[in-house]
Structure 1
Amino acid sequence: TFFKVLAKNEEWGPKGLTCLSKVHVILSETTITLLKGRHTL
């Protein structure tokens, strides 16, 4: 596999809605983590 994407949901707003709080993009020897509320270039 060239890369893998993992994500974590968290509850948001009215019952039953979710949003992503964390996304990990994993390459062979590098992990990039995107966090909710943080700026990404």
Structure 2
Amino acid sequence: MELIAKIWRRKSNGQKFITIPKNCELTEGTYVRIKSMTETK
């Protein structure tokens, strides 16, 4: 089973958790890329 890290995201209409692979480094750049992908969906 793959471990996951949860990133707390705040949205204008509420809040939600975003899960990413634990093996990804939780750097500011990584957060920005994840944030960008989720906001463009």
Is the structural similarity TM-score above 0.5?
no
Kindly indicate which of the two structures has a greater share of residues assigned to helix.
Answer: 2
- For normalisation by structure 1, the TM-score amounts to 0.38
Kindly indicate which of the two structures has a greater share of residues assigned to strand.
Answer: 1
- For normalisation by structure 2, the TM-score amounts to 0.38
